[in-house]
Amino acid sequence: MKRTDLYICIFMYLFCAFFQHETGKFPEGARHYPYFVIGLLFLLTTVRLWDMAQQYMKDRCVVNDVPETFKGFLPKQFWTMFGAFLGFFVLMYFFGFYLASLVYILFCLHYFKIPKKHVVLVLIVMLALTYFTFGWFLNVPLPKGEILGEFL
């Protein structure tokens, strides 16, 4: 059993508990899909924890793989992507979800030097998937932004 896997399971249980609590604040009709997703995450985490417990019972060993997990860690890359992540939320607040997503995806794909033909394909697929999933299928309004919301 790996120590990082145990940390991930603990994080996932806390994640599920937090969003279970927050979803309880939604109107009754809007709770079904989030409860389904949270339940699925809880179930998958439990299955992983069960597998880890079986492996531990076999080996009676917990491997400290934290140093190996972070070998080759690139702080510059991490902080650049963290900044882009925060920038996404700032852009979303002012310009809305779709424009912020477009800029964020373009930045990430350019930063990781993805070929241009794949960039166009990813942009089209992600924006279409987002629109049809949230706007059409789930009928969830996405943020329009403070600036663009005035014009829409």
User: Which residue has better confidence, 35 or 135?
Assistant: 35
Tell me the pTM. 0.67
**Residue range 89-106: mean pLDDT, rounded:** 94
Is residue 100 packed enough to be buried (19+ CB in 10 Å), middle (13-18) or exposed (0-12)? buried
CA distances (Å), origin 118, targets 17, 131, 147, 151: 37, 20, 30, 32
pLDDT, tens only, 68-89: 877 888 999 999 999 999 999 9
Does the pLDDT value for residue 65 go beyond 90? no
The encoded tokens of residue 25 equal 């604040």
